[in-house]
Amino acid sequence: MNYVKTAEVIFPSMVLLSIIIISKTEAMPRVSQNVTVESKFEEDPSVTKWKEADKVARKFSGLLVKNILPFAVRSFEDIDLSTPCSRSLIKFLTGVKQLKLWAFKMLDSSGKIPNGLFMGNINSLGDYDECIETVVPGYFQGQYCLLDVSPPLPDRRPFSSSDSMIREFINITDPESATAGFLRFGNYYYHLKFRSSICVPSTCSIEDIQKVVEKAVEQIGIEFAVTVPNCEIKTETFFLSNSEIAILIIFGLLMLLGVAATIIDIWLKLSAKEEFYQAKLGVPLKCLICFSFYTNTVRLLKKDDSKDSIKIFHGMKVITMLWVILNHTYYYINYQAFSGLLNAREIGKEIAFQLIANGFLNVETFFFISAVLVSYGVMKMKEEKINVFLFIFRRFWRLTPPFMFVIAAVFLVPYLGSGPVWKETVVQGLSDKCKMTWWANLLYINNFLPSPEMCLQWTWYIPVDTHLYFLSLLVLIPLKKNPKLAFMINGVIFICGIVATAINHVHYSLHPTAIYVYNNPDDINYFIERGYFRTYLHCSAYCVGLVVGYLLATKKNFCVPLIFNLTGWLTAFVLALSVLYGVYDWNQGNVPGIAVSTLYTCTNKLVWSLALAWVTFSCVMGNGGFVTTILSWQAFVPFGRLTYMAYLVHPIIQMTYIGSTRTMIRTDHRTFVFMYFGNVVMAFMCAYVFSLLFESPFMALEKVFFNAVKRQPRQKIRNSKM
């Protein structure tokens, strides 16, 4: 008799039979009895029923263990199970026979066959907390283990549509059968596993559990691969590495420094008789005040009253940041924690969803803004020549401290939570990667690493923007004295970028974008590593931004006739929508030929940046109407200043949420919308805290240092005249 097969049948049968027996007891005619004085001592009928249910449960538990135990003992010997694990499993079976609560907690907390398998409910996480909270004093505690089941599959063909059936599986069974229903979605099984869980004694190692489940699958007779990716027990203590201790000390010192600076800052403000008291402080005290939470908050909330600032960029940055968070809400997820996975494909068929599916364009807005500000700032400088050293140093000084401190914080994130998928989502998905490749982020070359190895994958944008920033020196150095030469160089960079993009696209046979139906992670990584993360792919947006920045600085009150203004806005709107939503048919699997694909790849970023160029130029020149009013809204100013930190931290927040889930998350828009708004709020809250600690102080220190350096030559001149 195959006792392993009958296990899942017997236990539900126990419950069912108990209910039947209780129901029959309820329905049986009762013998009338004379009421006596002793009747008040008779048991309540419900008590009788529960006693009967207890007897039935014990009977079936005993029968189950009696049948399984001999087989289990033989199997433990065959698979060479460790002695502590064998003893604990025997103890567990004995507990089941005796109807012990701890034994049934372990059974209850284990994963079951999920409902809705044919709707993509392939995960059953059980009850993580119930398992690890179970303790058998003197013997063991509950250990939560994940089980991944992988069906047999042929070698994967790259870029196979998730809508298509694997070629080898066509016509191997009745098309109306349940087996055919599973095989229809075979392309998903290359990267998604049928996942369940099991609660076992803590004395069993992962190797022990692996042997047990392999033996069980062998007895069932299905040749599926079963792996145990992770096992966890409840621990009261944890051990920090030397690097993690150092990070905690540095964070603690920064916090203490901030508190001390805030107290001193407020005391000076209350005791000062002048409004601008900080200007008269010495350099050491000014450096300390740079860490003041109060002063940095005031700076953050300060209105943008500068005549030379491009005020619409505050709103543009915030709106783009909200769009980026929306995209990443759908992208940075662990599907093994979700149910209803087939809904993900249905979502991709919606036209409106192209805003997310083709959201790769949103980062081009940041490249455009960065380029505009660089060229605009150079043209507004009083100096004729660019100090190349300061140009480069300030870039590193402003970006690197927040960047590195966020990476350092990621080292500590694994200690902030737990859950069934915490290890693979947070520890392996975030912390372990950063421990291996943080140095690439420091050197601003992380966009050249393989995507699965990248520390904070979404930060590919930072090195690309930095590379383009340095490259722009070729344009900026001659820009003030010889604009024609600068524009010629800018044109050469633009053309080289387009040509390099075309050659790259044809050489690697890339699609025009990350096609939605090709959703295998290997296919996605192949595209983004070669068709998205490379610096030269984004030259067009940056080159357009450099030109716009120059025009904004040199052209004042450029009046556009109403008809041309309306035509410009309509054209910009149509161009933006065409490159954003024009990929809808492609995302359904109707991929264009190499010619159309290459044309789109080479022009989509240019078209998008040209639309942004019109919006920017029109608004700054006073022709933007209500668009200018909205984008220049002062409420956007503090949030616009937080976009860099929000960009760095928002996927971390999402991944910690998903990693800590105890139950399956439903795959639908309603769920993602709630996740999105939570991500937005938490991202900007964390961005505010991190900005006070890691960003604002270093930006303020830069001003203190360079102002002190500028005053020294002036002081020497004054002394020489005396």
Spatial neighbors of 584 by CB under 8 A, at least 6 apart, are 351, 354
Q: What is the pLDDT of residue 713?
A: 53
Q: Model pTM?
A: 0.90
| Alpha carbons 376 and 550: distance in angstroms, whole number | 6
| DSSP β-bridge partners for residue 232 | 144
pLDDT band at 28; cut points 50, 70, 90: very low
Q: What is the pLDDT of residue 218?
A: 85
Which has more pLDDT, 219 or 196?
196
- The mean-pLDDT minimum among 37-46, 226-235, 611-620 falls in 37-46
Please tell me the chain's helix, strand, coil percentages from 3-state DSSP, rounded to the nearest 5.
Answer: 70, 5, 25
Spatial neighbors of 77 by CB under 8 A, at least 6 apart, are none
Decide if pLDDT at 303 tops 80: yes
Q: What is the pLDDT of residues 137-166, one digit of tens each?
A: 999 999 999 999 999 999 999 998 888 889
| Alpha carbons 96 and 107: distance in angstroms, whole number | 9
Written as one string, the DSSP assignment of 118-181 is: GGT--B----HHHHHH-EETTTEEEEEEEEEEE---PPPPTT--TTSPPGGGTTSS-TTSHHHH
Decide if pLDDT at 197 tops 80: yes
| Alpha carbons 492 and 477: distance in angstroms, whole number | 15
- Rounded mean pLDDT, 643-667: 96
Helix (H, G, I), strand (E, B) or coil at 334: coil
- The mean-pLDDT minimum among 258-267, 531-540, 549-558, 573-582 falls in 549-558
The identity of residue 313, as a single letter, is: F
Q: What is the pLDDT of residues 310-360, one digit of tens each?
A: 999 999 999 999 999 999 999 999 999 999 998 888 888 889 999 999 999
Q: What is the pLDDT of residue 41?
A: 56
Q: How many CA atoms lie within 13 A of 561 on its CB side?
A: 2
Spatial neighbors of 108 by CB under 8 A, at least 6 apart, are 127, 130
DSSP state of 452: G
Q: What is the pLDDT of residue 70?
A: 79
User: CA distances (Å), 559 to each of 165, 549, 563, 622, 623, in order?
Assistant: 59, 18, 12, 8, 8
Q: What is the pLDDT of residues 459-507, one digit of tens each?
A: 999 999 999 999 999 999 999 999 999 999 999 999 999 999 999 999 9
Are 296 and 692 in contact by the 8 Å Cβ rule? The answer is: yes
pLDDT band at 44; cut points 50, 70, 90: confident
Are 569 and 614 in contact by the 8 Å Cβ rule? The answer is: yes
Q: What is the pLDDT of residue 530?
A: 95
pLDDT band at 367; cut points 50, 70, 90: very high
Query: What percent of the chain lies above the pLDDT cut of 90?
Result: 67
Decide if pLDDT at 397 tops 50: yes
pLDDT band at 206; cut points 50, 70, 90: very high
Q: Where are the alpha helices (DSSP H) in 272-311?
A: 283-289, 293-301
Name the pairing type of β-strands 665-666 and 338-339: parallel
DSSP state of 427: I
Instruction: Tell me how long the chain is.
Output: 722
Spatial neighbors of 33 by CB under 8 A, at least 6 apart, are 39
| Residue 282 phi, psi dihedral angles, 5° rounding | -75, 165
